[in-house]
C-alpha cells in the first residue's frame, strides 16, 4: 500500500521509524495474545486433563510449562505415525515452475511418478493463463492420473518471488492442500521444473521403507559472525505480496536487530520434511511457526531459512533434522548466486554422489535422456516400477496396467541411495545437528 502511494519510492522516508514500529508492536500484541490463549485454553477444556501422551510429544517451549497442548486430532495423527511403520512409505511432491516451464514440469512429474505418492503442481502467476490451461489439460489427459487421482494442479496461482516470502507462502499453501486432500503420505518434498531424479521411485520408496518416518532432510547451519550482518539485519520487501507484476525484492535502508527468542539458521531451500513437522508448521499450535513466518516476511532469501529456523528452535523436532537436501547441486568456485547447469560431463559425479535428485538442468538437455535411459529406464511416459505389470513387448508401455503399488523393484539406484543415507545417519553426521 505504502509502496503504491509513493510512486517515486523514497526508502529513507517511507520506512521511517514510526511507520514500521507501529505494525511491529501490533503484530507483537497479536502474537502475545495468541500465546496467552494457547497457554490458558486447555485449562477450560473438559477433556484436557487426563492421558495426554507427553512422552510422545509436548509442545511446551519454556522449561517450566508442562504440555499445554491438547489438539487431539494432531496427537492422534502423531500416534498413528508411530506404528504405521510396517506399511511402505508414501511421498508428497510439490513441483513448481514459472512461465515456459510447463513441459519441463510434466517431464519431471513423469520421472518421479508412482501411484503411491501425491503430487501437486504450481505454475506461478507469471505464466500466461494459456500455459496453465495446457498444463491442466495434459494432467487431465493422462489416463493413469485420472484413475489414481493423485496429481493436482493448484487452481490458485500465486505470484512468487525467488528469495522472497511469497515462495514460502506458496510452499505452505501446497502443503496445506496436500494435508487436506490426502491423509496418507509420510514425507513432503519440493522440486522445481529444473530438478530431475537420479533414482527410480521404487528405489527411493524401498530405501525409505527402512528409515524412521520421523527424519527430516533439511540442510542447515546456524547463522553466525559476519553473516548475521548480511543476512539477518537487512529488511527487504517482497513485491509479490502487494504488486501484480513480478519484480525483484526491494531493499530498505533500515536495519533491524537480531531476534532474541529464537536463533537463526540457514541452508538449502530444497527439503524433505515429515508430515508431522509440516503439520506443525501449518497449524502452528504453539505459535512459533507463525511468529517465525512473520519474522521472515522481511528476510532476504527466506526460503533458505524458514523451515530451518523453525525446526532448530523446536525441541520436539530438533533431533530429527538431518543436514542434507538429497540433491546433487554443482556450484561455481567460489559459489555464485545460482548453481551451474548440469550436462553430460557432470553425469558420473552426479551418479557417484548417491543423491536421489539433481539440479539444475536446462530444458531438454541431452543428459536428461541419458538419465532416463541408464538410471530410470524411462522409455514411455513413466520411469517404470514394479507397479507396471503390463506387456512391454515391442516398446509397449508396461505402466498401462497397474499392479500392486506396495511392491518395489529396487535396482542399483537403491544401493547408491542406501549407502548415502547410511552415511547421513551416522553419528558423526548427526552430532552437529542444529549447531
Ligand X SMILES: *[C@@H]1O[C@H](CO)[C@@H](O)[C@H](O)[C@H]1NC(C)=O
Answer for which of 110, 117, 118, 190 binds ligand X (CB under 6 A) is 190
Grid cell 549447531 is found at 435
DSSP string, 218-246: EEEEE--THHIIIIISEEEE-GGGT-SS-
Q: How far apart are CA 15 and CA 339, in angstroms?
A: 34
**Which H or E run includes 153?**
strand 151-153
Question: Alpha-carbon distance 41 to 68, whole Å?
Answer: 8
Cα–Cα distance measured from residue 129 to residue 116, given in angstroms and rounded to the nearest whole number: 30
> Cα(first)–Cα(last) distance of the chain, in Å?
39
Secondary structure letter of residue 346 according to DSSP = G
Alpha carbons 200 and 210: distance in angstroms, whole number: 16
User: Quick one: cell of 167?
Assistant: 515462495
210 part of the interface to ligand X, by CB under 6 A: yes
Q: Judged by CB under 6 A, which of 138, 173, 353, 406 binds ligand X? A: 406
Determine, following the binding rule CB under 6 A, whether residue 22 of this chain makes contact with ligand X: no
User: Which residue is listed with cell 512461465?
Assistant: 99
In the region spanning residues 267 to 296, those forming contacts with ligand X, defined by CB under 6 A, are 269
Q: Does 239 bind ligand X (CB under 6 A)?
A: no
Q: Of 167 and 322, which has the nearer Cβ to ligand X?
A: 167
Q: Minimum distance from CB of 387 to ligand X (Å)?
A: 10
Stretch that binds ligand X, among 35-43, 53-61, 163-171, 283-291 (CB under 6 A): 163-171
- Which CB sits closer to ligand X, 168 or 300? 168
Stretch of 226-234, 254-262, 299-307, 333-341 lying at the interface with ligand X (CB under 6 A): 299-307
For residues 325 and 189, what is the distance between their CA atoms, to the nearest angstrom? 10
- Considering the complex, state which of residue 69 and residue 387 has its C-beta at the smaller distance from ligand X: 387
Q: Is 33 one of the binding residues for ligand X (CB under 6 A)?
A: no
Q: Which of 57, 153, 167, 399 binds ligand X (CB under 6 A)?
A: 167
Shortest CB 409 distance to ligand X, Å = 12
3-state secondary structure of 287: coil
Only one of the segments 40-48, 102-110, 132-140, 302-310 lies at the binding site for ligand X (rule: CB under 6 A); that segment is 302-310
State the residues that interact with ligand X by CB under 6 A: 96, 167-168, 171, 190, 192, 210, 269, 303, 306-307, 404, 406-407, 418
Amino acid at each position: 500500500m505504502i509502496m503504491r502511494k509513493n510512486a517515486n519510492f523514497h526508502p529513507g522516508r517511507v520506512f521511517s521509524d514510526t511507520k514500521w514500529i507501529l505494525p511491529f508492536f501490533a503484530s507483537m500484541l497479536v502474537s502475545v495474545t495468541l500465546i496467552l490463549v494457547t497457554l490458558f485454553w486447555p485449562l477450560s477444556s473438559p477433556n484436557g486433563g487426563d492421558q495426554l501422551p507427553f512422552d510422545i510429544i509436548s509442545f511446551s517451549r519454556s522449561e517450566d510449562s508442562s504440555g499445554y497442548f491438547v489438539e487431539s486430532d494432531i496427537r492422534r495423527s502423531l500416534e498413528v505415525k508411530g506404528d504405521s511403520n510396517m506399511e511402505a512409505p508414501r511421498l508428497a511432491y510439490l513441483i513448481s515452475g514459472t512461465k515456459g516451464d510447463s513441459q519441463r514440469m510434466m517431464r519431471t512429474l513423469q520421472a518421479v511418478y508412482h501411484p503411491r505418492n501425491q503430487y501437486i503442481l504450481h505454475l506461478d502467476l507469471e505464466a500466461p493463463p494459456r500455459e496453465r490451461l495446457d498444463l491442466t489439460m495434459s494432467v487431465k489427459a493422462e489416463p493413469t492420473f485420472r484413475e489414481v487421482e493423485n496429481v493436482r494442479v493448484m487452481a490458485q496461482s500465486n505470484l512468487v518471488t525467488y528469495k522472497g516470502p511469497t515462495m514460502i507462502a506458496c510452499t505452505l499453501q501446497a502443503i496445506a492442500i496436500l494435508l487436506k486432500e490426502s491423509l496418507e503420505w509420510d514425507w513432503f518434498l519440493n522440486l522445481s521444473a529444473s530438478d530431475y531424479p537420479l533414482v527410480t521411485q521404487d528405489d527411493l520408496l524401498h530405501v525409505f521403507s527402512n528409515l524412521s518416518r520421523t527424519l527430516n532432510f533439511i540442510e542447515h547451519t546456524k547463522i553466525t559472525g559476519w553473516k548475521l550482518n548480511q543476512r539477518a539485519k537487512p529488511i527487504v520487501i517482497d513485491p509479490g505480496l502487494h504488486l501484480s507484476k513480478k519484480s525483484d525484492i526491494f531493499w530498505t535502508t533500515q536495519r533491524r536487530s537480531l531476534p532474541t527468542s529464537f536463533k537463526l539458521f540457514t541452508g538449502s531451500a530444497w527439503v524433505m520434511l515429515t508430515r508431522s513437522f509440516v503439520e506443525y508448521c501449518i497449524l502452528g499450535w504453539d505459535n512459533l511457526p507463525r511468529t517465525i513466518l512473520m519474522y521472515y516476511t522481511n528476510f532476504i532469501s527466506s526460503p533458505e531459512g524458514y523451515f530451518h529456523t523453525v525446526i532448530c528452535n523446536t525441541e520436539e523436532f530438533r533431533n530429527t533434522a538431518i543436514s542434507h537436501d538429497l540433491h546433487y547441486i554443482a556450484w561455481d568456485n567460489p559459489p555464485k548466486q545460482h548453481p551451474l547447469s548440469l550436462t553430460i560431463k557432470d553425469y558420473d559425479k552426479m551418479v557417484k554422489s548417491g543423491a536421489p535428485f539433481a539440479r539444475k538442468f536446462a530444458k531438454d538437455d541431452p543428459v536428461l535422456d541419458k538419465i532416463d535411459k541408464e538410471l530410470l529406464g524411462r522409455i514411455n511416459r513413466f520411469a517404470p516400477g514394479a507397479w507396471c505389470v503390463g506387456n512391454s513387448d515391442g516398446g509397449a508401455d508396461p505402466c498401462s496396467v497397474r499392479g500392486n503399488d506396495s511392491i518395489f523393484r529396487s535396482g542399483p539406484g537403491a544401493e547408491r541411495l542406501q549407502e548415502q543415507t547410511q552415511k547421513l545417519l551416522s553419528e558423526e553426521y548427526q552430532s552437529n545437528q542444529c549447531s
